[in-house]
Amino acid sequence: MKLSFYKYQGTGNDFVMIDNRQQLFDKNNTKLVAKLCDRRFGIGADGLILLENHPELDFKMVYYNADGNESSMCGNGGRCLTAFANYLGIINKKATFEAIDGLHHAFIENKVVKLQMQDVLSVEKHQNHVFLNTGSPHHVQMKSQLQELSIKEIGSKIRYGQPYNETGANVNFVKKLSENTFQVRTYERGVEDETLSCGTGVTAVAIAMFETGETKSNLITLETEGGNLQVTFDKEKGIYRNIWLIGPAVQVFKGTISW
């Protein structure tokens, strides 16, 4: 069997993109998705995304982690999918699409994609960390030094530990650089390793930093290993609304693969 694919990256969080408007992709083939994402035996990516038709909206997003399982929302993936839809001529500068967590609006200009995220209704503040769901579940923890941390080792202990267990959470380690700039390194569930950037992760970090008083700004720059992202939001009556994730989304290459 032969498959045409495109490879995209958003601040180093990379994805195999497949145009599945004809419904030809075998969506229940976990092994195939994992193989396509494998960096030695496949194309190599943190996740795989199907672009599908939607009866009312511009398109539908179906997201799989690199382990082959369909998962919750991927912020960088949503931004890259918007760039892919623009490349395919499905949208011009703006899009409205459906993902697993609901409807998203997006804008694209000069390879920069601005993606609206779901409202965040609750933020759990614990002694040493914050937990919140920005479309995917995120544990956020401050660290004074990030560079020398073994993110895979300490991230996996938290991800598989109490209270997350097998279901898991993504784990973000954060260092404050200035009033409105934070450095972030993320361990991603479903990749089971550090990724260079995580969109729902930096969104969670921005909100957690505001909620805990680390910043008073609602326009926050997040420095990831793969580049910078920005998050803006409004807080009204305890609810975070109008949340936007902003950053580059780039096509890297395209090809065909046989299996």
Ligand X SMILES: N[C@@H](CCC[C@H](N)C(=O)O)C(=O)O
Per the annotation, binding residues are 13, 65, 75-76, 170, 188-189, 199-200
Q: Is 68 in the site for ligand X (CB under 6 A)?
A: no
Nearer to ligand X, 71 or 156 (CB): 71
Integer Cα distance of 11 and 78 in angstroms: 13
Positions in 10-29 near ligand X (CB under 6 A): 13
Task: Determine which residue in the list 189, 196, 206, 220 makes contact with ligand X, applying CB under 6 A.
Answer: 189
Q: Which one from 32, 36, 37, 74 is the annotated catalytic residue?
A: 74
Judged by CB under 6 A, the residue of 72, 172, 224, 230 near ligand X is: 72
DSSP conformation letters of 19-54: E-TT--S-TT-HHHHHHHH-TTTSS--SEEEEEE--
Instruction: Count interface residues toward ligand X (CB under 6 A).
Output: 17
Structural Rg of the chain based on CA atoms: 17
Q: Which of residues 128-167 bind ligand X (CB under 6 A)?
A: 136
Q: Does 190 bind ligand X (CB under 6 A)?
A: yes
H-only helix segments in 38-126: 75-87
CB 75 within 8 A of CB 117: yes
Cα–Cα distances in angstroms (integers) from residue 39 to residues 10, 53, 102, 139, in the given order = 17, 29, 30, 27
Annotated catalytic residue 37: no
Tell me if 170 contacts ligand X by CB under 6 A: yes
Active-site positions read 74, 198
